[in-house]
Structure 1
Amino acid sequence: MSRPSQSPSIFSSRWFLTVVVAAGMSGMFYCYSLAMRPLLKSPLETKAIHAVGWQPPINRPRENREIAIEHLSEQSWAADAKYQLRNKETYIYTNEWEQIEDGQAIRFHPFAMVIKSKNGKRPLTVVAESAYVRFQSKFSPTTPNPGKIISGALQGAVHIKGADGLVLDGRNFSFSESAQRIWSDHNVSFAFQEHYGKAMGIELELIPDKNPKKGSMLEVVGIRSIRLRRNVDMHLQTDTKKTDSVKPSTMKGVAEIAKHQSRMVQIRSAGSFDFSSTDNTAAFLQDVQVFQLTGQNQYDSLRCDRLTLFFKEKKKPLKKQHKNLQVVASEKNLPEKKASERKRRFQGISSNLEFQRLVAEGKNVLLISQKNDLKAKMNELIYDSTTRVVQLLHSKNVEVLQGLSQMRSPKITLLNDEKNRVQSVLCDGAGQMEHYDKKTGKLQFAVQWKEQLKKFPDAKSDLDIIELKKDVLLREPPRMMGLAANYMRLWVNRQATSSNRQSTERQSELRPQRILAIDNVAMLSPEMQAETDRLEIWFEQRETLPVAKEDSQQTNQQKQNKRTSPLFSPEEQPGNSANNNDKTLQTTKEPIQIDSKLIRVRVLRTKDGKQSQVAEVWAEGKVKVTQEHEGKEKPLSISGRRMHVVNHSEKSQNITIYGKPAHIFDRGMHMEGDEVHLDRKNNKAWIEGAGLLELPIERSLEGEKLKKTEMLDVLWKEKMVFDGQTANFYGDVSTEMDDSRLLCQHMEVQLTNRISFSETANSKERQKTEIKNIICQDGVKVKSREYLKNKLQSLREAGFWKLTVNQLTGKSIAEGPGWITVWRRGDGKPMRTSAIRTVQANQPVKTKKRKKWEYLRVDFSGKTSGNMKDRFTTFRNRVRVVYGPVDKPGVVIDSDKLPENAGWMRCKTLQLTQHEKTKTKKAYLEMVARGNAELDGNEFHARADSISFDESKDLYVLRSIGKQKATIWRQTNIAGDYSRADAQRMEFIPSRNKLKLDRTTGLQGVQ
């Protein structure tokens, strides 16, 4: 997914505007202050005036001449001026003076003045065609104090120079004590250090002295404000370091200074420039334009209707006399007399101001940076140097365009660092960002929000964070990707400081490194769709993707099944123009659909950003995953509490799903467990812990063909491994189908065909899958029921060490020790025929109420083998059978306490054959017991080498081998003594108490 327009990178340029005025504006004020102050401080102010003479002197003081030669070299007349006056560090030169206006005014022509600096810097020089001063009373040489000055002027061309490159050129500067102002209606030009400018007209509003000192000639204590009336043009140096080629001493005027400027910022206004010393504010009015040259024919510019600058007094550093002495903190610690003298000082424009705040206002405030290809349009721009905060405001939307990216928001706030680089961005209110492709001009990336966007550095990494709030929608049409949430965070590369063009272009591609989306999150991509409460995505850069995608050409069926998503409404689609009206994202492939509380995604992305692939997915909380298959096959469906997906290609994923339990449904198969693993590439599934597997089968557990496909349920407690054809189950395994259940500790189920977990075979190639073998061992138990018209007919239970059943052939093998128990509904007669009975009751005693259920249990220690189709079974090693009638299923007969018509039989092997019902015979059972066979009932007991039973005849046949004899003990009368009979062979029908002997060897008792 590409980077989100790097809206913050829109402000990645150094904000020239915040540096401009902060770096140079305060210096311009020094120019006004130092140039105008001499006009207000007349050299005739003091009582002691040292005049060379009011008549042309014969010898002039040498010092006066040297001062003029050094500092007034451009005024050749000054060194030889007729009149030269000195007052401490002030020197005045003139050739003519005259009293006018009835002696109240005096005019000097020409006029030059030098005021030496106490700190050794270049002195201040003032030159004018003439100087005019009017006093309150008549002026004469004998009256050095004619009262206060009420007006004055520097007439004609005026040229002022001072330290740090101070220059002021103008005409006709006038002073009025009553109006408390100084002004000139002519063009003025000025310079200070590396700054210079010009304007039409200047005006200084003065601060009157409310408590003038007695004898004071000038009742002014300071400058209240300065105004440049119109057509203001200022050039300010953002780099305060002077170049070696420019020296103030060699400058001959403003024009020469202008040629040597570098890194200048130009501020122009059609209206006035006003500065107030009371609140230290400066304002440019009417069509204000700010320019800064950033390269060859490249400018940064700001245009507005009003530009206001706010300054504040710098805090003076504390002076330390000694580390052990107290620090003098303020004037409060000075003697009272000195403090009062400080208050009397002239309050000019402070040279100790520092820039504080800037406000640009207008109907259309326009900020342009050609170097950074940036345009911003707003109603108001505010910059605070203390907090380094910039605010862009508009009644509707601030519009910012940088290169191929654009942003809109009602209020944009930027926080800069100490080097004036943007550290954080805040957009309040609904807004949006868009980024377009450089070659095609098509929309590449778009994001919109309803409440707020915030960009700031990540304290835990070298990335920046973009935070968006409320109804956030992020779209990337070329990749058909979209993301929506109520809250979103994007981690992006920190903006580059390099001016290298390639670096800048790479930065402008705006690709995120991480994404966090919270609350009502929806995601759409060709590979995955998701809905969640929290989504986390992070990207890893690769030279190439590890596995190439499958053929991406669309089949006709895919084209017909082209889908649209209701989650997003992007304006751009692949192959469409920028103004396309299609409002849906479309895709032709069936992506994985994931729904959960939390989703984490790891994405691999090539360095050029043109290819990306989902590498891993983690999901937590009510996880539900679906993916459609080709044709009419049932889709893959996964559900659980947690899920981990490792994606290798479109058809190769490793999926682990955790739950209580987790479920996987795929092509009719169902797996369930707390930890389900699915390797689609290797076609392997396994479950750690307890679980369930359901497989579609065509035969019952007994191998009988089913009328319709049914599900075989296999449950276990420890583990299951399934490769699509063979499944192994461990720990308390149970199998259920219809009315049958099989239990064991380890079960192996083998299928006739391999079930595929991928798309490698189409529907026509797949064959119906049947169970071939079921192998159970360790604690095998079988339980089944038979019903006839919803009425229970029989209940069978069995237990073995191992059981193998081939469902296709019907062959089965069981290994003991084991047992089989059968409860079968009878006809009310003792030991009538039943599917698995081996003997009949040996006493024909009639009861008042015959029991309707027959009980049979066979125990053995060896193996059993047989065929379910042929209904033949052989039991081996220590076989024991208990039988008899019972009231209901589940009732067990104790061989030591046989009830009426019950009995038991023991032998080494037992063969059991079940005969199906025919037209002439009912279903019946035959069995043969061999090896030390014993038979016992309530009224008889028998033993022989072999005992056979034919249920259809209710006949027992006892045989002996060699010299061994078959023996039977029985009661012929109720409560009578037992009689004994020995023979080589005997036939016995218990129901009729009939005994037939062959080759009898002995009789005892009544027969």
Structure 2
Amino acid sequence: MRRYLITLFSTLMMLGAYSVYAQVSQRLLSRSHTNHATAKRPIIHNVPSIGPRISQETAEKYLPDAPWAVNARAKIRADGLHLFFNEKKLVNGNTEIEVSPVAMVWMADEEGGAEPSGKEPIVIRAEKATFVFDEAVELSEIRTRLIREIRMIGQVLIRGDDGLKVRGSNFVFSRDNKNISSYHPIDFRFQEHQGFANNIQINLQMRDGGAYADNPQVEAIKDIFISEHLEMNLKPDENEPPVLVTCEGYFQYRFDSQLAILNRDVLVHRTDKTGLVDSLTCDTLALQFGEKLNAIPSENKTLGGSSNLELISLTATGNEVIAKSSANQLEAVGERLTYLLRENKLILQKNRGVEIEYRGAELFTPRLEIQVDDHQQPIFAKCDGPGQVKYLDKPTENSVQLIQQSVIPAILAQANWQESLTFMPDANSQGQLDLITLTGKAVLHSPVHQSGIISNSIKVWLKRIEQETPVNASTNKSLSQEQDVQIVRTLAEQNVAVVSPYLEGEYESLDIHFDRQSIATLAALKGETPETTDSTDTTTSNNVASDPAGQTGATEKRSQLQKIPKEPFKIDATHLTLQVVHDPEFKDVHVAHVKTEGIVKANGLIEGQDDPVHLDGQSVDIANGGEERQRFHLLGTDERYASIRSGEMRIDGIDLFVDRAQNFSRVMGGGAIEFPVKSNWNGDKLQQAQILEVSWKEQMRFEGRTAHFVGTVRATIGDSVITCEELKVHLDQPISLKSTSMTIKPQIASIECRDRVRFEMNHYENGVLIGIRYLDVWSYTMNQQTGAMNAQGPGTIEFWQRSNGKASLGLPQGMMGKSTSEKTPAKKSGWDYTRITFAGHMDGNYLKRQGTLHDRVNVLHGPVSEPLSRFGRDNRPPQSVWVQSQLLEVALREVPKDPKKPAEEQTPWSIEVQAKGNAEIEGDQFLAKADLVTFDQSNQMFTMRSLENRHATIWHYEHPQTARSRYDVKMIRISPDGNILELDRTLGASGSR
């Protein structure tokens, strides 16, 4: 369009009216050709001789279309003017001379002996001409000072340099009005350009009167004015179609300001070889010319103009300035269009907003500024003020049907801003990328994707990709060689909010990097098969195409999108960076990588999960390989752990990593984990799953079946707690991070505890605390499936059990002494306390209800008033017992029910205890030493035996401060209250008072 406009207005500058005036009027009105001439030339009073030979040669050379001029009756030569006519007539008292036919040839080269310039002379032919003088004259007395008017009557032909031809009628030069005019239609041709107009007038700036009365001069052309209908066909290039320019008002060119104006119903129109149209319409079109910046000064300047002019700006104004380009699918509507040619800058303005449609996009802004390079490619654009751009659904095969149904095109994408939108090459990409910046409550919205971003500032990086020309493409270059624009990156800053089916959140900055891949690559990345994806798209497309209701293209695109998740993934963070992989048409979108900075909270469904995932931390890094291939890396602090939670499983930590595909997680530094289990630490199955909670200070590894914790570990199930420095928990079935739900509730298969192990276990019955157990050892292992258990001492075991509880802990109730006056057992309301220490190790089997303690075993057992109350051997309360041995074995036997006893008096279990190796036992009324001490709860009997040739000794007394009786025997049976029931093979006895 720029080339066409330049050609148009350069041609207007060279119209025949201007050329005729520039060379003819100065010869008729002035004896000098140049403004800078100072030497006065003598006035010629006599008319040159008629019929000079040079005039005949001029006629033969320059008037081939007027053969009569060669033999014209009058041939006059004066100041380079050759005048030819056959008939003359003096009228109006000799104040007018009529000549006919008339031809004039102005040879500028002949004046003053100037060297030939090589330019064609100005040739004028007319049917008649009337020279009007101020006073009566004779032909031989013609003086230029006396000419008042020249009327060229009938058809007039003007020819000049560069193929200039002007045809018209009744041209008049008026000295009084200082103009040359014709109020009749004219047509013209200049080089390859042609056109026609009505009512042309050339206004002159003249020096006349006073000192110039005898030698009037034209200083300059003030302006050229065409007052009615101008129409031109411009031919910019041999291979280019013509450009049509029309103006229904007036055309004016002002030489002082070098400004051209076309007014009212201005149209610039071009139809290319393929029938596509470019056009510009406006009320007023102003063109500003200026001297060429690198022009060489011309010595042949003509009055009123310069051959070194060039168009420097174009301004179109009106209620509606409309620019259209069918080839570029462009339509722009504004109130003011300015094109600065030297800067290659275009400015569109409209108070209520410029409206632009470009290849499926609609732009609305009060002011648009565009700058292009020498190849007409945009290098800068800016929209000032509140604006909007929409990308509409492209026409499909059903376009005609949709138009007939008046279906409004769907909006594919939309951008809004309150301050500005700018477009420029990105300086940091070496010209590879373009940068679009939106400021002031910027909004990006895609209805077809149900997605939107709002922010104070949004930047979008684009990459242009030249598309290959298809074999059957149109010959039109703009259509067959389109550019594909690829989104590379989007950066939103300050008060960012995002809403979409895939992501929601608020941020200080959001940085999205886009990676366009083929459908096959994207399917492989997501773990899908390309064949399935393609067939689905094709089926959907065919269904839409055959839909008789004529659904829009947006519906077709929407139906081809990937499956929308049940709910978006919500991420609130200070800074969020996303890597998004998409197919070439942006139908399928896959978030491949997520990275955050600052405090982050996130939750949402991951593909393949029924329960949402909750994330919390100082930063989060998520790699999404599709399906179950996600890797999470979360960072926290000592004061605020990062966490990931799905269903009833939760992992907290300072440095937390989870790999769903490998079913692996680890935490470096402190952390905690929670997940449900169906058994307690003893392996007992629970009616309802309880949460296993574990915390640590150094590290954790979890691999489905096994969890390994290191550093100040604390593990809790219900009211039971384990603390140690290292803990391994093995489950009977893996907890799958890939499973669709957390319905799997594993049982504990085994545990391994090392370094300062402590168990704290509370037992409840019907919501009432009935027992407490503490275990302190160096290491502890237990296989809950086989029941095998092992502990490395030195260790301590402590029990608190309600006296009337049904479940026995540790040593039996029968080890408590009872009064001799009591004939029937009474229910006690207090607590029993048991403390066991050992220096070696402990082993046994929980399922078999048996255990063995080794090396310096000590047992204290007796009543206390409340749980957690303790006593030592030296301050044993009444009805307590102390046992010491090198080995202690405990076994729990099931007792058959006795139908003769009430249920409340029966116990389902009976405990057997056996102490070996230097065993000692001390009760309220006895102290005994033996190689072997046993207790059987079922018959409430202590038995003490000696082995080999040793003997057992018992001291019996009513009270520790009273006299004692001693018995040395091989075997003793004694009741818990101290009554000796049997002595076997007594070796000696003694007594004291």
Q: Which residue of 1 aligns with 2:105?
A: 112
CA contact (8 A) 1:801 1:814 kept: no
Of stretches 880-889 and 790-799 in structure 1, the one that deviates more from structure 2 is: 880-889
Secondary structure at the residue paired with 1:945? strand
Query: How big is the shift at 1:232?
Result: 1.2
In 2 relative to 1, CA 522–185 (structure 1 residues): closer, same or farther, beyond 3 Å?
A: same
Q: Which amino acid aligns with 1:36?
A: Y
Q: 689-698 vs 961-970, which deviates more?
A: 961-970
In structure 1, what is the equivalent of residue 850 of structure 2?
Answer: 872
Q: Which has the higher contact order (CA 8 A, sep 6+)?
A: 1
CA shift, 1:41, in A, is: 1.2
Superposition map of 1:521-920 within 5 A = 521-525=497-501, 528-533=502-507, 534=510, 536-542=512-518, 544=520, 545-546=523-524, 547=526, 549=528, 577-578=551-552, 590-591=565-566, 593-597=568-572, 599-607=576-584, 611-618=588-595, 621-627=599-605, 635-641=611-617, 642-658=619-635, 660-666=640-646, 668-758=648-738, 769-787=746-764, 793-807=770-784, 811-822=787-798, 824=800, 835-836=810-811, 856-881=834-859, 906-913=884-891, 919-920=904-905
Helix, strand or coil at the partner of 1:494: strand
Alignment counterpart, residue 446 of structure 1, candidates 409, 412, 423:
412
Residue 370, structure 1, aligned to residue 364, structure 2: no
Q: Percent identity?
A: 24
Shift of residue 532 of structure 1? 4.0
Distance verdict in 2 for CA 1:742–1:153, change over 3 Å? same
The 1-side partners of 2:398 and 2:621 are apart by 38
**Residue 420 (structure 2) pairs with residue 463 (structure 1):** no
SS in structure 2 opposite 1:42? helix
Q: Which residue of 2 aligns with 1:28?
A: 12
Residue deviations 1:946-966 (CA, integer Å, cap 9, x gap): 344568999765544324455
Q: Deviations over 1:910-958 (max 9, x none)?
A: 1134579975477886532223445689999875433445689997655
Residues 668, 851 of structure 1: alpha-carbon distance in 2 compared, 3 angstrom cutoff: closer
- Where does structure 1 lack aligned partners over 5 or more consecutive residues? 1-15, 240-259, 320-341, 555-572, 845-849
For normalisation by structure 2, the TM-score amounts to: 0.76
Output one character per residue of 1:25-69: Cα deviation in whole Å (capped at 9) or x when no partner.
Answer: 2353144543312333135734746869637458x476x666666
List runs of 5+ in structure 2 lacking aligned partners.
32-39, 403-408, 534-546, 820-827, 896-902
Cα distance in 1 between the residues matched to 2:331 and 2:978:
116
- Counting only pairs closer than 5 Å after superposition, residues 229-308 of structure 1 correspond to structure 2 as 229-238=227-236, 262=240, 264-308=242-286
CA distance in 1, matches of 2:814, 2:947: 22
Q: Look up the SS of the partner of 2:4 in the other structure.
A: helix
Q: Deviations over 1:778-828 (max 9, x none)?
A: 44321122456876554322123443334456x241230242332526779
Change in CA separation of 1:261 and 1:750 when aligned onto 2, cut-off 3 Å = closer
Counterpart-to-counterpart distance in 1, 2:209 and 2:378: 50
With over 3 angstroms needed to count, the CA separation of the structure-2 counterparts of 1:495 and 1:667, relative to structure 1, is closer
Which position in structure 2 is the counterpart of 1:324? none
Equivalent residue letter for 1:796 = R
Question: Does the CA contact (< 8 Å) of 2:630 and 2:660 recur in 1?
Answer: yes
CA shift, 1:434, in A, is 0.3
Note if 1:40 corresponds to 2:25.
Answer: yes
Q: Name the amino acid aligned to 1:439.
A: E
Q: 1:978 to 1:49 in 2, by over 3 A?
A: farther
How far does the alpha carbon of each residue in 1:270-322 deviate from its partner, in whole angstroms, 9 at most, with x for none? 33222222433222233322123432444422233433323344457799xxx
Please give the alpha-carbon distance, in whole angstroms, between the structure 2 residues aligned to 1:914 and 1:665: 42
Which of 335, 358, 374 does residue 418 from structure 1 map onto? 374
CA contact (8 A) 2:726 2:753 kept: yes
Provide the rounded CA distance (Å) in 2 between the counterparts of 1:960 and 1:374. Answer: 114
**Residue equivalent to 2:824:** none
Report the CA distance shift for 1:506/1:742 in structure 2 as closer, same or farther (over 3 A): farther
CA distance in 2, matches of 1:165, 1:73: 15
Deviation at 1:348, TM superposition (A): 0.8
- Rounded to whole Å, the distance in 2 between the matches of 1:57 and 1:406 is 73
Cα offset, 1:203, TM superposition: 0.5
Aligned-partner residue type, residue 615 of structure 1: A
Residue aligned with 1:35, SS: helix
**Deviation, structure 1 residue 202:** 1.0
Aligned amino acid, residue 947 of structure 2: I
1:111 partner amino acid: M
Q: Would the alpha carbon gap of residues 653 and 714 (structure 1) be closer, same or farther in structure 2, given more than 3 Å must change?
A: same
Q: Give the aligned partner of residue 899 of structure 2.
A: none
Instruction: Flag the 1:729–1:717 CA change in 2: closer, same or farther, 3 A.
Output: same
Q: Secondary structure at the match of 2:889?
A: strand
Partner of 1:354: 310
8 A Cα contact 1:52 1:83, kept in partner: no
Q: How many residues get paired?
A: 906
Output the TM-score relative to the length of structure 1.
Answer: 0.75
Aligned partners of 1:989, 1:298: CA distance in 2, in Å? Answer: 119
| 1:103-182 alignment runs, 5 A limit | 109-116=102-109, 120-129=117-126, 134=132, 147=145, 150-182=148-180
**Superposed displacement of residue 752, structure 1:** 3.6
Q: Do the aligned partners of residues 588 and 34 (structure 1) sit closer, same or farther apart at CA in structure 2, a change above 3 Å counting?
A: closer
Shift of residue 595, structure 1, vs aligned partner: 0.9
Q: Which amino acid aligns with 1:151?
A: E
Give the CA deviation at 1:885: 7.1
**From 451, 456, 465, the counterpart of 1:482:** 451
Structure 1: distance between partners of 2:388 and 2:516? 31
What's the secondary structure of 1:186's corresponding residue?
coil
Structure-to-structure mapping, 1:194-213, within 5 angstroms: 195-209=193-207, 213=211
Q: 1:429 aligns with which of 387, 406, 409?
A: 387
Residue aligning to 1:493: 463
2:26–2:217 contact (8 Å) kept in structure 1? no
Cα displacement (A) at 1:402? 4.9
Deviations, residues 456-501 of structure 1 (Å, cap 9, x unaligned): 4333342334455647353364xx5533535654443327498774
Contact 2:464 2:486 in 1 (8 A): no
- SS, match of residue 272 in structure 2: strand
Q: 1:505 to 1:79 in 2, by over 3 A?
A: closer
Offset of 1:205 from its aligned partner? 1.8
Residues 193-246 of structure 1, C-alpha deviation per residue, up to 9 Å, x if partnerless? 55443312211122244996555522542222111232312244545xxxxxxx
Aligned residues of 2:366 and 2:387 also touching (Cα < 8 A):
yes
SS of the equivalent of 1:927 reads strand
Kept in 1, the 8 Å contact 2:467–2:481? The answer is no
CA gap 1:119/1:737 in 2 versus in 1, 3 angstroms: farther
Query: Secondary structure at the residue paired with 1:267?
Result: strand
SS in 1 for 2:215: coil
- For 2:395 and 2:753, the matched residues in 1 are separated by 65
- CA 1:161–1:798: 2 relative to 1, 3 Å: same
Counterpart CA distance in 2 for 1:786 and 1:768 is 22
CA distance 1:936–1:199, shift in 2 (3 Å): same
Contact 2:29 2:218 in 1 (8 A): no
The separation in 2 between residues aligned to 1:611 and 1:972, in whole angstroms, is 92
Q: Which moved more, 1:197-206 or 1:409-418?
A: 409-418
Structure 2 Cα separation of the partners of residues 498 and 236 of structure 1: 33
Cα pair 2:580 2:590 within 8 Å, conserved: yes
Give the distance between the partners of 1:819 and 1:869, measured in 2 at CA. Answer: 22
SS class of match (1:179): coil
Do 1:50 and 1:86's aligned partners in 2 also have CA atoms closer than 8 Å? no
Distance 1:985 1:951 in 2: 18
Name the CA distance, whole Å, in 2 between partners of 1:693 and 1:492.
45
Preserved contact between residue 169 and residue 190 of structure 1 (Cα < 8 Å)? yes
Shift in CA distance, 157/190, structure 1 to aligned 2, threshold 3 Å: same
Q: Is the 8 A contact 1:910 1:928 kept in 2?
A: yes
Q: Distance in 1 between matches of 2:450 and 2:14?
A: 59
